[in-house]
A and B are shown apart, each in its own frame.
Chain A
Amino acid sequence: MIDVVGFLVSWLTLLGIYSILALTLNFESGVSGVTNFGKVLFYGVGAYTAAALTVYLVLILNGFDVTKTPPYSVEGIVALGQLAGQNPALNLALFALSLVLAFLAAGLLGYLLSYPILRVGPAFVGFTLLSSGELMRIFLQHFEPVGASKGLMSIPGPFAWVPEPRARELAFLGVVLALLALTYVVLDRLVNSPLGRTLRAVREDEVAALCLGKHVPRLKATVLFIGSGFTGVAGALLAYYLTAVNPGMFVPAVTFNVWAMIILGGMGNLRGSLVGAALLTLFDRLLTFLTPQLGITVISPDYVRWFSVGLLIVALLLLRPQGLLPEEPVRTPALEELEVALRGGGSG
């Protein structure tokens, strides 16, 4: 029996999280020209901020001594499992606090990392961010307070007190989609504002933008703060959705997956990112669904999946570089008036 509702809920939740990543990456790279190959860094920082904050505070507020029963020990994980559903107010408060702190932590990191990469070209920007992400993973693998290579487990979700599993999943899905809508509205307003037009100018020609008096360093720092902040929120949502985080989840391949989404959807088009994220996560879910049916294969389906992500990026750049939805002109009041006038002129 195929569980259609379960499939839809898990797909839409993943879609929501990945859409936030794709939207922010499109804002940073497609609209503003900051080649961010280190998406996973900010994603991971958000996830670990939320996870560590929640497990430590739940244990401390319930009178545990975290020096004796740390949340990554077996006793800690058992205690977290028992405490998870007892106090709805605490769960929700911690969830809200984590989202805010994940935004600030990832955003500040993005703001700080914009400093060393301001004066160099896209190659250096991409590479510096890529290696920052890898170093974060190496650091997390060796950092004992967040569980080193095992990571943190049994993170109490915001709706852990809801007894019915399906209702719990649906409530979480609602939160994810609400945050996706918030991200979309904020980024859409930014892209179609004077700031968005300036960012496109920076993307096309940095020297020209500088000569027109635009403060390019400050603009890039702003872009990285906003983009990374929302990425951190997506990371926090992932931590609560999976109720576990470990360093193995934050490999560079995650970044490239998001890149494939925005190239598929169309660089510089926010709605395209939603389409790209939807298609790739659907493919992902279907593959996870089909893999057990295949039995033991010579080649792991996982490798085929990642290979096709790379192939998709290369093939799209060669054959359809504008993606499914090409970039649209910025919506300005003047443009809208012009369109109305033209339409009126045509009919009258």
Chain B
Amino acid sequence: MLPGYPYSIVNFLHYLFFYLLFSLPLTLSYRNTKVINFAHSNFITYGMYTAVFLHGLLGNTSLLAAAAAAFLVGGSMALLNNIAVFRPLERRGASPSMIMIASMGLWIMYNYLLYMLADVAHFFSRKNFVSYSKIAYSDVPELSIAGFTLSQSFVASMLAALGLVAALYLFLEKTRLGRAMRAVSDNPVLAEVSGIPRDTIVNLTWLIAGGVAAVGGAVWTCFSGTITPQSGDAMILQVFTVSFIGGLVSLLRTGLGALAISFIENVGIAALNTYLGVPTSFRPFLTFATLLTILIASPPLGAAGGLPYRFRRRRG
């Protein structure tokens, strides 16, 4: 029997769904646009706050409506980033590091803009938006299977994550547009020469990436205890580590990464807690150790990688 059963297993699946929702768009956006986007956590947080503002200011209790609104907010943010910042920088021939630093600047901007919005909303409604409690939605059922009650957030995140995986598979494998997207990610120059409108594909990628991450954020509002403007940033270590396991290019390996990190963070820490007495607040350190292990043992090469140094003694 696994330690912490059954909660560790339920949480393992639960976080797996969320990591899929957060990390797949990150991998997708990097492999198509070659921009490492530190503002990715903003999409998640803004998705959460779209749901929070709809609930707190307009009294919305439909998760479907909140998710749809979040998709629009996250997607348009990502599109705006690309049109106003990333594309002009790329046109000018700025290095990938410079574009990364610009995304970091955007991250701070969005972060504190959200604090300001929460202040303004507080001024009008007298509700505390800087620390908002979990939202109970009316349109998501609780399921009972074999004596287990699956919570609202479990059902919602499962539907969203499985829907995302299925939709991505069908889109990338079966449709013309999806194949064009894969062509751009494999070789942008060759794709452009073959008549694929690269700019349109990149814009579409940003719309999907920002939108899906924001939907994940909206679903998170019926799971997390409290929602703060830092909630998305608090997950950035896990989300990026999951994508790094996929080398920022492979969607399949990103999925495996979500599986691995979710397992380590839930079952792994439960085991350490039971047998060695490690406190559960140690979770991020476990993820960080995984990140360092990956960077040392099998550094992601290719587009996002550096040089394949070998630390071996020279043979005389």
| Chain A residue contacts of B107, Cβ below 8 A | 310
Judged by DSSP, the binding face of B is helix
Cross-interface CB contact of A303 among B98, B119, B285, B309, cutoff 8 Å? B119
Cross-interface CB contact of A206 among B94, B279, B292, B306, cutoff 8 Å? B306
| Chain B residue contacts of A309, Cβ below 8 A | 105, 108
- Give the B interface residue count (CB, 8 A): 50
Mask: chain A, 310-329; 1 = CB below 8 Å from B; 0 = not: 11111001100100000000
- Asked if A135 is at the interface (CB within 8 A of a chain B CB), the reply is yes
Cross-interface CB contact of A116 among B108, B120, B295, cutoff 8 Å? B295
- Asked if A263 is at the interface (CB within 8 A of a chain B CB), the reply is yes
- Asked if A184 is at the interface (CB within 8 A of a chain B CB), the reply is no
Q: Which residue of B lies closest to A127 (CB)?
A: B240
| Chain B residue contacts of A138, Cβ below 8 A | 281, 284-285
| Chain B residue contacts of A142, Cβ below 8 A | 279, 281
| Chain B residue contacts of A253, Cβ below 8 A | 108
Pairwise interchain contact A126-B119, C-beta atoms closer than 8 A: no
User: Which of A4-12, A68-76, A117-125 is found at the contact surface with chain B?
Assistant: A117-125
Count chain A CB atoms within 10 A of each CB in B38, B98, B105, B111 and give the residue with the most.
B105
Distance between B291 CB and nearest chain A CB, rounded to angstroms:
7
| Chain B residue contacts of A318, Cβ below 8 A | 85, 88-89, 102
- Asked if B116 is at the interface (CB within 8 A of a chain A CB), the reply is yes
Pairwise interchain contact A317-B98, C-beta atoms closer than 8 A: yes
Distance between B269 CB and nearest chain A CB, rounded to angstroms:
14
| Chain A residue contacts of B120, Cβ below 8 A | 298-299
Cα distance A122–B30 in the bound complex, in angstroms: 13
- Asked if B237 is at the interface (CB within 8 A of a chain A CB), the reply is yes
| Chain B residue contacts of A259, Cβ below 8 A | 101, 104
| Chain B residue contacts of A289, Cβ below 8 A | none
- Asked if B96 is at the interface (CB within 8 A of a chain A CB), the reply is yes
Cross-interface CB contact of A132 among B38, B116, B244, B288, cutoff 8 Å? B288
Cα distance A312–B305 in the bound complex, in angstroms: 29
| Chain A residue contacts of B248, Cβ below 8 A | 123
Cα distance A68–B296 in the bound complex, in angstroms: 43
Pairwise interchain contact B288-A307, C-beta atoms closer than 8 A: no
Mask: chain B, 286-300; 1 = CB below 8 Å from A; 0 = not: 001001100110011
Mask: chain A, 209-223; 1 = CB below 8 Å from B; 0 = not: 010000011000000
Pairwise interchain contact A210-B101, C-beta atoms closer than 8 A: no
| Chain A residue contacts of B92, Cβ below 8 A | 321
Pairwise interchain contact B123-A119, C-beta atoms closer than 8 A: no
Pairwise interchain contact A35-B97, C-beta atoms closer than 8 A: yes
Cα distance A33–B240 in the bound complex, in angstroms: 22
Cα distance A142–B281 in the bound complex, in angstroms: 9
Cα distance A303–B116 in the bound complex, in angstroms: 7
For residues 74 through 131 of chain B, which have their beta carbon under 8 Å from a beta carbon of chain A?
85, 88-89, 92, 94, 96-98, 100-102, 104-113, 115-116, 119-120, 123
Residues A119 and B308 in contact in the complex (CB < 8 Å), given A126-B100, A311-B105, A314-B105: yes
- Asked if A304 is at the interface (CB within 8 A of a chain B CB), the reply is yes
Mask: chain B, 43-86; 1 = CB below 8 Å from A; 0 = not: 00000000000000000000000000000000000000000010
Q: Tally A-B pairs: CB < 8 A.
A: 147
| Chain B residue contacts of A115, Cβ below 8 A | 296
- Asked if B307 is at the interface (CB within 8 A of a chain A CB), the reply is yes
Distance between B23 CB and nearest chain A CB, rounded to angstroms:
13
Distance between B96 CB and nearest chain A CB, rounded to angstroms:
6
Pairwise interchain contact A33-B284, C-beta atoms closer than 8 A: no
Cα distance A303–B160 in the bound complex, in angstroms: 34
Residues A118 and B237 in contact in the complex (CB < 8 Å), given A123-B304, A128-B295, A142-B281: no
Pairwise interchain contact A116-B109, C-beta atoms closer than 8 A: no
- Asked if B36 is at the interface (CB within 8 A of a chain A CB), the reply is yes
Cα distance A310–B106 in the bound complex, in angstroms: 6
For residues 122 through 173 of chain A, which have their beta carbon under 8 Å from a beta carbon of chain B?
122-124, 126-128, 131-132, 134-135, 138-139, 142
Pairwise interchain contact A307-B113, C-beta atoms closer than 8 A: yes
- Asked if A256 is at the interface (CB within 8 A of a chain B CB), the reply is yes
Distance between B300 CB and nearest chain A CB, rounded to angstroms:
7
Pairwise interchain contact A117-B295, C-beta atoms closer than 8 A: yes
Cα distance A44–B291 in the bound complex, in angstroms: 22
| Chain B residue contacts of A240, Cβ below 8 A | none
| Chain A residue contacts of B305, Cβ below 8 A | 119-121, 124
A116-B292, A206-B307 are known contacts; what are 7 more A-B pairs with Cβ within 8 Å? A119-B305, A123-B248, A127-B38, A216-B307, A310-B108, A313-B101, A317-B94
Name 14 interchain pairs, CB-CB below 8 A, sorted by A.
A119-B295, A120-B299, A120-B304, A122-B100, A124-B295, A124-B306, A126-B104, A134-B237, A298-B119, A303-B112, A303-B116, A310-B108, A313-B104, A314-B109
Q: Which residues of A contact B (CB under 8 A)?
A: 33, 35, 37, 115-124, 126-128, 131-132, 134-135, 138-139, 142, 206-207, 210, 216-217, 253, 256, 259-260, 263, 298-300, 303-304, 306-307, 309-314, 317-318, 321
